[in-house]
Amino acid sequence: MSLKDQITEDMKTAMRAKDAARLLTIRGLLAACKQREVDERITLDDAAVVAIVDKLVKQRKDSITQFIAGNRPDLADKESAELLVLEGYLPQRLNADAIAAEVAAVVAELASELGRAAGPGDMGKVMAAVKTRLAGKAEMGLVSAAVKKVLTP
């Protein structure tokens, strides 16, 4: 069963259980998926759905930060509840050690391709390679920090 099918089944389950908050979040996720399919005239695979979920998770985290700063705990709680639902659709996140290992492997591959040691100027190439390898498995802020750490002399 694809991730999109699982999300649809979860929506049906939330409807039957009359879980309005969960249903609203899942409908928003499905709407974002459908919008991307219509805009790009494609059928989303699991990786693309995970990318959309990851984007929505990031939006929720930013919203929570803003609501807390604006002294709106009610809205922050609502966003936190949505965040928990969305995070359920993400694959298991890698820890910092696993991210560092993946980044080191990508840097080593890139260095062998270039015929020289990778430096700070290769940040874009390394991030592009790491992003495809770790899409949905790691938070990109942590990945970027790990890449900077490896590339800086």
Mean pLDDT along residues 6-30: 96
Whether 14 has a pLDDT exceeding 80, the answer reads yes
Share of the chain above pLDDT 70, in %: 100
pLDDT at residue 22 is higher than 80:
yes
- List, as one string, the DSSP characters of 36-74: HHHHHT----HHHHHHHHHHHHHHHHHHHHHHHHTT-HH
Tokens describing residue 153: 């002399």
Q: What is the pLDDT of residue 131?
A: 87
Domains in the chain, start-ordered, CATH in brackets? Answer: 3-87 (1.10.1510.10), 96-151 (1.10.10)
Per-residue pLDDT tens digits for 34-75 = 999 999 999 999 888 998 998 999 999 999 999 999 999 999
Gap between the Cα atoms of 42 and 150, Å rounded: 37
Q: Choose the most confident range, by mean pLDDT, from 65-69, 118-122, 127-131, 142-146.
A: 65-69
pLDDT confidence of residue 126:
86
Query: Taking residues 11-16, what's their average pLDDT?
Result: 96
Residues in the chain: 153
Task: Supply the pTM of this predicted model.
Answer: 0.78
pLDDT beyond 80 at 153: no
